Structure 1
């Protein structure tokens, strides 16, 4: 019987959550990355093996890389982008040599994942991550003051953004700015306002079709190598899965994802199925997406969200929210039995709760909240697998 390979994300030696904590949570392995290496530089075999040894000395495995960053020059196809692709290929070779086979990456312009509130008060007293479109408008139009930003919003959205800006203190405005552009855990960059606007300027002439073309070019460059090395790529969807700050989004729907597989059918070309990211869009049917992309799911982020009006959403507990997690795990379980493989999974994010409320944490990556999520998901899979065994005796 094949079960999900249960992991947690670990940010390295400076992560307040230790490898011992992760092992005690019941994980078989970790998801990690070499965040100290600047984007675009080569991950040397020596650096990879150093990290791998630290993990293995704690009785765990380094199962998945998350993420091997794609340099912005590759996304925009500007000066030096071919050099960065060549560097990326060398890093892939070194990871394969070290025995790490699943490589997560994303192709989101400039920002990785985006939230406006990193300590939203949940009704049970825990702290959650939250996204509010009015706060995005307030930042975009009245703090950043992006040229022509008003063209991207309705009159109602602008009014709500103006109300936020007018009622927030200077401290709240600075906190909002930091939440959006100062760099979240695992994000590839952090910016000042001036730097962020300059980065946005690089996308002035890049629309959805052009960015999609650049991703396909990148995949055509690296997937033959990945096929030869038996590496599996896991492209993370856009988070959130709709445009922000005038930037194009190309990994937000089943249609967009299918284009990538039709254009680059190589066996290594796969996705990281993130239920929380894709679930924000009400027109995404995650159950159908699991069936459609069954052969392409190389990594799972299991997270739940609670959507509200205006495309706002709050990250909820793993078994609560818009997403039917039972249906998700059951579908994944049956795919694993049919394909005779285990798919690595991590409980994506978790509330800050209990003793962790007193600690400094990486937002979304506290120990106890993820432990709760992992326990719930493990129990869910246990029940599904027991029913399956009864039916297949």
Structure 2
């Protein structure tokens, strides 16, 4: 497996020379400055790739080539958006960048309610607090039907939080929820989010699946021609959010996607954190089952609560048997001869991480700790013949 590191290019507070000191050899990045739906110019891709190579790395995964929301909604004439997407693919392939990670989550990307929840023995982590999300939906957005999406315990805590919350608390919660959009240009206030959600009225699970299949029909044949692979990132969290359906959350969803266009180019980004937040998912079993179609791995751990809350755990702690997952991916590499890139996903803010002001979930020290732990697991498994 290729040790890689997510880098946000000119927006990142962590430099390529600093990343080099982690021992990672691959870079995972994107052209975050280009608005969704526009073509990525080949010369801009080439310049970014040259910068990465000059620092001693390979650009191993594009994360991500984002999908315009109109495609997810199935709205209007999409021919130009699909053509632009395929042109960006062609430009990437021409520069030797052929592995694309993407997601099909409508409107919001990963969603958390707390960006600096305290961790035992110091440091902080990302957290999804079900009661805070319920308070946001019910009392800040006024979405009464959200009551059906939460446990009685979460709803009771939501009411208490709302009664006690200051305007600053509400602003912080909105900021946290919006922070999962690192490459997007849209950041919403409450009025803006309400307006944006109206564009998804009537979009149910079946409609979103249909729109997703259309996307795959449009891009996977081009990926085959270009020698590219696609790996869809699972929903984070793996549950409906703000009344919007999410359709990449469990084994049944993944089966649908991989069979919608049955091609080796149509694959999965195996994110142990996103899939691990669903109590119904058996991560080692999923890794063994879908390993032949895994093109990229995000390795992180979560600790779940009965009310649907969860938080980022240390990479070898939490609820997921990380050793078993890694063993399955290493076995796939041995069997197929493929080398799967992975990165230590999300990390605790440790030591002086908080002072850097990095993207939420992407500190230097916390991810370095995670990479070192994952590297140790892989070394031990290889020593024992895995």
TM class, shorter-length: over 0.9
In the other structure, the counterpart of 1:70 is 67
Structure 1 CA distance for aligned equivalents of residues 152 and 3 of structure 2: 46
Instruction: List alignment gaps of at least 5 residues for structure 1.
Output: none
1:163-312, aligned counterparts within 5 Å? 163-181=160-178, 183-186=180-183, 189-312=186-309
Structure 1 CA distance for aligned equivalents of residues 87 and 144 of structure 2: 39
TM-superposed CA distance for 1:157, in Å, is 3.6
1:375-386, aligned counterparts within 5 Å? 375-386=372-383
1:1-393, aligned counterparts within 5 Å? 4-146=1-143, 148-153=145-150, 155-181=152-178, 183-186=180-183, 189-388=186-385
Question: 1:309 aligns to what SS in structure 2?
Answer: coil
8 A Cα contact 1:11 1:32, kept in partner:
yes
TM-superposed CA distance for 1:312, in Å, is 0.5
TM-superposed CA distance for 1:355, in Å, is 1.8
Question: 1:306 aligns to what SS in structure 2?
Answer: strand
TM-superposed CA distance for 1:188, in Å, is 6.2
TM-superposed CA distance for 1:213, in Å, is 0.8
Instruction: List alignment gaps of at least 5 residues for structure 2.
Output: none
* Number of residue equivalences: 386
Structure 2 CA distance for aligned equivalents of residues 372 and 168 of structure 1: 35
TM-superposed CA distance for 1:14, in Å, is 2.6
8 A Cα contact 2:33 2:183, kept in partner:
no
TM-superposed CA distance for 1:186, in Å, is 4.2
Q: CA, structure 1 residues 45+270, in 2 after alignment: closer, same or farther (shift >3 Å)?
A: same
TM superposition score normalised by structure 2: 0.97
TM-superposed CA distance for 1:158, in Å, is 3.0
8 A Cα contact 1:182 1:192, kept in partner:
no
8 A Cα contact 1:110 1:189, kept in partner:
no
Structure 1 CA distance for aligned equivalents of residues 151 and 57 of structure 2: 50
8 A Cα contact 1:279 1:286, kept in partner:
yes
TM-superposed CA distance for 1:151, in Å, is 4.8
Structure 1 CA distance for aligned equivalents of residues 195 and 147 of structure 2: 18
8 A Cα contact 1:73 1:80, kept in partner:
no
8 A Cα contact 2:114 2:128, kept in partner:
yes
